[in-house]
Structure 1
Amino acid sequence: MANVELPQTMQAVVCHGPEDYRLEELPTPKRGAGELLVRVEAVGICASDLKCYHGAAKFWGDENRPAWAETEAVPGHEITGEIVELDDAARAEWGVEAGDRVVVEQIVPCWDCRYCDTGNYHMCAVHNMYGFKRANPGGMEEYMVMTPGSLVHKISKDIPPAHAAFAEPLSCALHAVERANITFADVVVVAGCGPIGLGMIAGAAAKYPAQIVALDMDERKLELAKKTGATTVINIANEDAVAKIKEMTGGYGADVYLEGTGHPSAVLQGLNCLRKLGRFVEYSVFKDDVSVDWSIISDDKELDVLGAHLGPGCWPAAIRLIEEGKLPMDEICTHQLPLADFQKGLDLVSAGKESIKVSLIPGGASTQNAGQA
């Protein structure tokens, strides 16, 4: 197809190091063979974006690898946009057309390592990702290129862009739920009712366990947890969560604990909440090291402790949940800001008091959903 008329330059947020992100005018990218050129409609701001912004020293778990995005990289990995240019190779790879709205998984697998070869592409040894390296600019820009080998999914244009971009964190939350192997008889505890925790609650509810207990310190988020599927909520600022959960379970404790806060105290809380032979799933990225008595895991309870990274295989389910209106998306996606207000967006996520999910809308105006502070 003929190239559409595009502006010569565009706005983009560019990383120049920890706490040094700048709005700049960059040349509009040109797609190569087999690539998609996408007009970005929305990009969510994630807690990991915030940790990268602040340059947390242990973010990647490797002191030799910097925590923040590479200098001159464009951040943002919760991306949705409209395809404006493609070729036949791209059509064949992804089954898309110009005008389609798509979302893209943040990982760009190499498809040629031990993990990719065994179907575990989310653990790719190379581990290129949109929004962290110069080679794969993220969504905090007006136009971006999606490269061959990326995992691209179509999503409805009938939903708001910020809702579509929520497919990325929701898929991650669903993967954590899958790792837990939830059964109908289980009492499931979800720590944290931010975007990931709410996604975990929704995913757990789809498994129909006996109970889903949501933990948080924010009454507004706990009310939203009820709408997402929690059967019981506990404000840990006012109640002893461990004592209440043991009371609910005849003194035994919960069967499953899903950690979605990124706060070190939530780890020990989970170990204490669980019954013997329980299952602990850790999703969060931590700014600081976490120290616990590991004998709880071994000698005391013989727990299964599982990690969860990204959302492999969970994107179709996440997209269905959003498209079918299974989640209160208007209340989850609280703030949409223009790209120029990226710093305000980072600050909203950092404060954690006014917002649930904050998104940037390139070329758009600020909106704040009704009922939000």
Structure 2
Amino acid sequence: MPQKVTGVIARAKGAPVEVTTIVVPDPGPGEAVVAIQACGVCHTDLHYREGGINDEFPFLLGHEAAGLVEAVGEGVTNVAPGDYVVLNWRAVCGECRACKKGKPWYCFATHNAKQKMTLEDGTELSPALGIGAFAQKTLVASGQCTKVDPAAPPQVAGLLGCGVMAGLGAAINTGGVTRGDSVAVIGCGGVGNAAVAGAVLAGATKVIAVDVDDRKLKWAKDFGATDLVNSKEVDAVQRIRELTGGFGADVVIDAVGRPETYEQAFFARDLAGTVVLVGVPTPDLKAPELPLIEFFGRGGALKSSWYGDCLPERDFPAYTDLYLQGRLPLDKFVSETIKLGDVEEAFHKMERGEVLRSVVVL
């Protein structure tokens, strides 16, 4: 029968979040109920609260999570009660043109649970990214559950569910960083520093971190950046070129998503280099005006990275194993662990740039 649990909702645009009771239905066909153990506070959750995604309030926030499968619905075979899983927001369909081309990470028909979680009065909730994990339990499509090694603590493993995977994937999957490459990362928050870590993991020999905040640059150094550039103090493009023999970086990752940072990325890459946009622009922003001859003359590739072009069933277990081997410092992303009632303050800390990740532990 349906369960009543505690969760965090955004009831209206810009209003402080609320801790309240939500109703989680029994899983239907293809669905699973997951008992959440930990969930990271991601900037996307703040976007939901501020109405930057859509206006389908109230939202059940939280999506960067790990936990235990409690129950599954009819026809579910990929997970079973008791499995330790990381949640993802792109359950692939296996049937669309991308999946049938053997590129399921581009799936054009990803899906979530069909049933809705509700407030006690029956008001339907919109779960953030189809997950809604700032809650003791949540309902998802079974394909949103990816089994990983339970030796990885949930406050660490759950981060693979969104921001960290986006950054790792931007470097490794989208950017194709490989041994000996030079890489510049513009914007060193959670996603940007994950891109730094991904570039180091892939074997880049020069990893240049760019930001306007020295605190974030120090974090980037902790993740393996070889060079730090404060773009408030120097011309970032010029400095990246100086650090790469005058040529520019092989791969430049824009983890901010603004016209000015994209223009920096465009001109800071080497000839035939790659630009990767992983920072999410707001709908009002426009691409910078650049001479068309520069697109032609520089060659290379301009790419967007959505969720790090990841395939959860492939990537989550692999990166969990690398963490357990001591090769991927996921624990460095955890700035603090908090309770459900601390989410609003965690948003303020995020806005002030004080944390890489606050993680709710249940």
Shift of 1:49: 2.1
Between 182-191 and 6-15, report the one with greater CA deviation: 6-15
Classify 1:71/1:111 alpha carbon distance in 2 versus 1 (closer, same or farther; 3 Å).
farther
Does 2:26 correspond to 1:26?
no
Amino acid at match of 1:76: G
2:64 alignment partner, one of 66, 78, 86: 78
Deviations 1:318-357 (Å, cap 9, x if unpaired)?
22233333344443211222112221122222222x1111
Between 277-286 and 74-83, report the one with greater CA deviation: 74-83
Shift of 1:302: 2.6
Q: What is aligned with 2:299?
A: 302
Q: What is aligned with 1:152?
A: 145
Q: What is aligned with 1:39?
A: 35
Shift of 1:188: 0.8
Q: What is aligned with 2:89?
A: 106
Q: What is aligned with 1:172?
A: 166
Q: Please tell me the root mean square deviation across aligned C-alpha atoms, in Å.
A: 2.8
For the Cα contact (< 8 Å) 1:68–1:132, is it kept in 2?
no
For the Cα contact (< 8 Å) 1:29–1:143, is it kept in 2?
no
For the Cα contact (< 8 Å) 1:69–1:133, is it kept in 2?
no
Q: What is aligned with 2:242?
A: 247
1:161 alignment partner, one of 128, 132, 154: 154
Does 2:191 correspond to 1:196?
yes
| Segments of 4+ moved more than 6 angstroms | none
Amino acid at match of 1:146: V
Q: What is aligned with 2:78?
A: 93
Q: What is aligned with 1:275?
A: 270
For the Cα contact (< 8 Å) 1:334–1:358, is it kept in 2?
yes
For the Cα contact (< 8 Å) 2:152–2:320, is it kept in 1?
no
Classify 1:183/1:32 alpha carbon distance in 2 versus 1 (closer, same or farther; 3 Å).
closer
Give aligned-pair identity as a percent. Answer: 26
Deviations 1:208-248 (Å, cap 9, x if unpaired)?
12311111223232222223221212222223222222222
Q: Gaps (5+ residues) in structure 2?
A: 114-124
Classify 1:87/1:55 alpha carbon distance in 2 versus 1 (closer, same or farther; 3 Å).
closer
Classify 1:82/1:279 alpha carbon distance in 2 versus 1 (closer, same or farther; 3 Å).
same
Distance across 1 between alignment mates of 2:5 and 2:167: 33
Classify 1:159/1:355 alpha carbon distance in 2 versus 1 (closer, same or farther; 3 Å).
same
Shift of 1:122: 4.1
Amino acid at match of 1:147: A
Distance across 1 between alignment mates of 2:30 and 2:51: 34
Secondary structure in structure 2 of the residue aligned to 1:230:
coil
Deviations 1:27-51 (Å, cap 9, x if unpaired)?
2432234533211111112222222
TM-score by length of 1: 0.82
Amino acid at match of 2:223: T
Aligned residue pair count: 342
